[in-house]
Amino acid sequence: MADFTMPSLGADMDEGTLQEWLVKPGDTVHKGDIVAVVDTAKANIEVESFVEGVVQQLLVEPGTTVPVGQVLAVLGNGVATASSAEEPAEPPAPAEAPPTPPPTSPPVASESAPEEARVAAERPGSVRVTPLARRLAAELGVDLGTVTTTDDAPIRAKDVRAAAAVLRPAPEPTSEEPGPAQQPSKAEAMRTVIANLMSRSKREVPHYYLSTTVDLAPAMAWLHERNRALDVSHRLVPAALMLKATALAAQATPALNGFWVDGGFTPGGAVHLGIAISLRGGGLVAPALHDAADLSVEELMAGMRDLVTRARAGRLRGSELSDSTITVTNLGEQGVEAVHGVIYPPQVALVGFGRVVERPWAVDGLIGVRPVTTLTLAGDHRATDGFTGARFLTDIEQRLQHPEEL
């Protein structure tokens, strides 16, 4: 027997709404199969199964919002399950303990332990609070004892926000904002998620920043030569080369590729390159391009186009939102020359590429006009020092001088 639970799709996900089941009782599910679509503040996410089995029971109806960790379906091993009698099935109601993220989700720094103890001491027994709600309550100065929920449900972020709004009615009420009871829009919900995660990053992560200018003449020349012969659908953009060089460098510098969890660094293993994608209408997601170091530039280009298309259509997969080991942001098309980014916790590094610009550049004692980009690194100083970061940026730069080897 195995439970399929509401996964944690990112460090600040608190709850999700089951949109659609893609399996029914009796279906055989393999690891990696997409079994459901879940709506979060960020997007509709296709959620994969992490276990093998036969679907025995679907416990949650589409349209239901449940906290992270709640059992959504029960999977059996396909043969008559004698043990199921001894092992009572999980009730469909939220489990008694505060929901915990499933073990397959990326490790998230456990920051709330002392708070948790304090809250438990204040409110012994019955009240259940989701981790995000607890953190929000601390941020907004809301006493969890004053927060009420319906039907004995656990206290969630929205309950805390509602309580905060009652405590402190909108500071500058305007005629366009009817009141705190209004349901936040998708854009507002995403803004809140980004605000929480980035605030946490700036609060917890001691960033250091490095930057260097990279001559892209060889890369651009190679690219133009290659694209000249090809149909539009097979052409590459400079970003594909930048991402491949970054993935290879991250593979060669494992200290920057992974997570800072519980006061220590956990290597990410493979390089799952998070790609920051801005969404039309505002907001940002950074889904993972899995095993980016092992992809050819053509495969990487195709993977990048697919990710961008699906991110904007709101159809990403759960593992893509939770697996990134290092993130790249490429503001290359938006007119600025450099980006000094904010790390996505629990990752420990964020790489930025600025716009490709033509600049006077000295090569072998002669000045010429070359396409260059400003390459930056935001590093978590708990995990690495500037020396490692500098070696990493130099590695990316060197790899971009030999585009044919990428």
Partner 1 sequence: MTHDATMSPAAARAAIAAVIRRIVPDADLDGLADDDPIRAELELDSLDFLSFVELLSDATGIRIDESDYPDLSTMARAISFLTARGTVHGDG
Give the interface with partner 1 as residue ranges (CB under 8 A). 224, 227-228, 232-233, 235, 237-239, 278, 280-281, 304-305, 308, 332-335
Query: Is the Cβ of residue 186 or residue 235 nearer to partner 1 in the bound state?
Result: 235
Place of tokens 């972020």: 157
Query: Is the Cβ of residue 156 or residue 310 nearer to partner 1 in the bound state?
Result: 310
Query: Is the Cβ of residue 143 or residue 225 nearer to partner 1 in the bound state?
Result: 225
Tokens at 224, concatenated: 């133009």
Query: Is the Cβ of residue 151 or residue 231 nearer to partner 1 in the bound state?
Result: 231
Q: What is the largest CA-CA distance in the chain?
A: 81
DSSP designation for 153 = P
Asked if residue 11 lies in contact with residue 135, where contact means CB atoms within 8 angstroms, the answer is: no
Query: What are the start-end ranges of the E strands in 276-403?
Result: 277-278, 284-285, 288-289, 315-317, 326-330, 349-353, 357-363, 366-380
Query: Is the Cβ of residue 238 or residue 352 nearer to partner 1 in the bound state?
Result: 238
Query: Is the Cβ of residue 203 or residue 315 nearer to partner 1 in the bound state?
Result: 315
As measured in angstroms, the least distance from the Cβ of 281 to partner 1 is 8
Look at the chain and count its residues.
406
Task: Say whether 377 sits in a helix, a strand or coil.
Answer: strand
Helices (H), 12-155: 113-122, 131-140
As measured in angstroms, the least distance from the Cβ of 276 to partner 1 is 11
As measured in angstroms, the least distance from the Cβ of 404 to partner 1 is 18
Task: Say whether 210 sits in a helix, a strand or coil.
Answer: strand
As measured in angstroms, the least distance from the Cβ of 275 to partner 1 is 11
Count other Cβ atoms within 10 Å, centred on residue 86.
6
As measured in angstroms, the least distance from the Cβ of 305 to partner 1 is 6
As measured in angstroms, the least distance from the Cβ of 352 to partner 1 is 15
As measured in angstroms, the least distance from the Cβ of 9 to partner 1 is 24
DSSP designation for 60 = S
Query: Is the Cβ of residue 304 or residue 372 nearer to partner 1 in the bound state?
Result: 304
What separation in angstroms does the CA of 149 have from each of 129, 159, 332?
10, 7, 46
